Amino acid sequence: MNILAKTGWPAWLLSISMSMTLASSAICSASDPRTDWQGLATAARDVVAQESPAAAFPFRTAKTGEGKALVIAHYFPFFPLSYEGLPPDKDYYATQYLTASGENGKYARQGGFLRERPLPAPFRSTPRFHDTNFAVDVARAARIGIDGFGVNLLNFTDTMFLPTARKLLDAAHASGTGFKVFPEPDMSVVAGLSPAGLADALMPFATHPAALRVDGKLLVMPIAAERYPVAFWRQLTTIMGERGHPIALMPCYYDPATATMAKLRDVSWGMTFWGTRGPAAGDNAREVITGVEKLKYSNWMIPVSPQDSRPKDLAAFEAGNSRSYRNQWDVAIDLGAKQVQIVTWNDYSETSEISPSSFSQFAFYDLTAYYIAWIKARQAPALMRDAFYFIQRRQIFRPDAAAPGARWTRTGDAPWTNDIEVVALLTKPGEMVLQSGDAVVRKVVGSGLQTIRVPAIPGTAVVTLYRDRRVVQQLKSPISIDPRPGLRDPTYGGSSSLRLPTDTPGA
C-alpha cells in the first residue's frame, strides 16, 4: 500500500522567509479577550449565507452535530484565508506563493509554491481580520454539515499552531452551530516530546467548551502515533485522567499494517489512518478496515481526500478527476462508517483542500456537502434540481515532457490521465453529451449522481443534457485547456452550474 508521508516539513517550515514568519506571528498571537467573537460569528454567517445560499445546492445540506456519522476535516493552520489583511491581489498568496519568482525564487523550478489559494472573505483591514478568517472557516465548514476541525499541531512552542487552535475553539463556540475542534498532534514531526509536555499542549482543548468530546472524553488524534511507544500513550492517558480531563485516544496511522495497529489497540478508544490517494484509494481503505475489524477496535474513522499534489516536491498522485474522492466516499458509505475525516480542509501545500478556493472553486466543497448529507442520513439526499460540476485540469499534463529538473514524480499506482469530467446530480434520467474539441462522448444515464468523461483537448468543453430528445441544459466549462504545455500543474479545478465563478485577483 503506497502511503505518502509528510516528509520534509521541518526543513520547509524552517526555510520560510522572515516576512512570512512575521506574518504568521501576527496571525496567531494569543486570543485577545477583547475580540467580539459573537459579532465575528454573525458577520461570518452573513458572508457564507451570501456565497452559499440554499439555491447553490440541489439538495438539503446536513447540519453540524446531527445525523448518524461524525464528519471532521483536517485543518492545517499554515494557510489562513489571509495573512496580512491586504487585498487579494497584493497579499502574500498573490505576490509570493502563487508566482515562480516568489520568496526570492525559492520555488522557481517548481513554478511556485502553490497552485491555488483560499477564496478570501470580504477584505477588512481591521485589527481583528485574522479572527474574522477563523470565523469564516468555521461558518463555511458548518454550512455543509462538517462537525468539527482536527487541528494539525506540528509543534507546541511557536506562535502559530496552539494559538490558532485557541482562536478556532473560540470561533466554534461563538458560531452557535455545535461545531467542535480537537487536537491532531503530528508525531511524525515533533521530536523529544514527553507525555507531560503533550498533556500541557492538550489543556487548552480539554478546558474549552467547544472541544470535541466522545463518550465524555476529549478526542485526541495523534498523526503517526506509531512512532511513539505504547508506554508514551499509556502515560499520557494517565496524566490527563489525573488532571480531570480524560482523553479518547484515536491514533491516525501512517502505516496501518495489522502488526502496527495491534500495538496500540489496548490504549486506544479507536483508530484511523492517513490513507492512500488515487482512484483505488477507497478500495485500499476497505482492506485496512478489514484488518481493523479483526483487531476488534471499538471505533474507527475512515479518511477521504479529493487529490494530492505537492508542487514543492514535484510529486503527485493521479486522482482521476473526482474518481479518487468518489471511490473513498462510496466505500465509507458502503461500510457504514460512523466517523469520517476529510483530508484536508485547507492544506494548500498538498492541494488536498476542499475549502472554497481560487481554482477548485466550490466543486469539491459542494460534492463534499452531497456525501456528508448521504452518510449522515444513510441514504442519498433527494435532489430538487439538476446540477453539473466540471472537474478538470487547466492544461494537458505531460510530466515526461517537462524541462530537466522540473519533472513531476507520480506517486501511487494510477497512471497519469488527461480527461475532462462532469459529475451530474440529476432529478431524472436523460442523455449526457460531453464534447472537448473533436472528441464527443454520449452516455445514457439514470437519476442521482452520474459521471461522464472525455479526453481533454485544448479549448473549452461543453456538456449537454437531453431528455425526450430535447435539450434541457447546455453548459460550457469556465476552465479552458491551455494549448501551451505548462507542464507544472496537475491540479484538478472545478465549477458548479448552480454558482457563478468567483474571480480572485492575484490568483
Range(s) within the chain of domains with CATH label 3.20.20.80: 40-377
For the stretch 216-252, pLDDT in tens is 999 999 999 999 999 999 999 999 999 999 999 999 9
Tell me if 320 sits within 8 A of 52, measured CB to CB: no
Q: In what order do the strands lie in the sheet with 247-249?
A: 213-214, 217-220, 247-249
Neighbours of 126 (CB within 10 A): 9
Of 126-130, 307-311, 432-436, 494-498, give the lowest mean pLDDT range.
Answer: 126-130
% the chain with pLDDT above 70: 91
**pLDDT over 80 (residue 117):** yes
CA-based nearest residue to 200, from 150, 245, 234, 264: 245
The rounded distance, in Å, linking the Cα atoms of 477 and 353 is 21
Which residues of 51-119 form beta strands (DSSP E)?
A: 70-75
- Tell me the sheet residues that pair with 249: 220
Where does residue 290 rank: exposed (0-12), middle (13-18), buried (19+ CB within 10 A)? Answer: exposed
For the stretch 172-200, pLDDT in tens is 999 999 999 999 999 999 888 999 999 99
Q: CATH classification of 387-496 is 2.60.40, yes or no?
A: yes
Read off the C-alpha cell for 221.
488524534
Tell me if 357 sits within 8 A of 127, measured CB to CB: no
What is the pLDDT, as a whole number, of residue 34? 66
CA-based nearest residue to 258, from 284, 232, 281, 287: 287
Read off the C-alpha cell for 114.
502553490
Read off the C-alpha cell for 57.
445546492
Over range 459-475, report the average pLDDT: 97
For the stretch 383-426, pLDDT in tens is 999 999 999 999 998 877 667 778 899 999 899 999 999 999 99
**pLDDT over 70 (residue 15):** no
Quote the Cα angle for 95-502-169, to 5°: 75
CA-based nearest residue to 230, from 256, 260, 202, 185: 260
Over range 334-345, report the average pLDDT: 98
Read off the C-alpha cell for 502.
468567483
What is the pLDDT, as a whole number, of residue 191? 81
- Alpha-carbon distances of 112 from 21, 87, 96, 406, rounded to whole Å: 18, 20, 8, 11
Confidence of residue 51 (pLDDT cuts 50, 70, 90): very high
What is the pLDDT, as a whole number, of residue 5? 35
Confidence of residue 125 (pLDDT cuts 50, 70, 90): low
What is the pLDDT, as a whole number, of residue 124? 63
In Å, the largest CA–CA distance within the chain is 71
Q: State the residue for C-alpha cell 487579494.
A: 88
Architecture of the structural domain at 40-377:
Alpha-Beta Barrel (3.20)
For the stretch 255-288, pLDDT in tens is 999 999 999 999 999 999 999 999 999 999 999 9
Over range 330-351, report the average pLDDT: 98
What is the pLDDT, as a whole number, of residue 318? 97
Range(s) within the chain of domains with CATH label 2.60.40: 387-496
Confidence of residue 161 (pLDDT cuts 50, 70, 90): confident
The DSSP output letter for 186 is: B
Secondary structure (DSSP) of 379-399: SPPPPSS-EEEEEE-SB---G
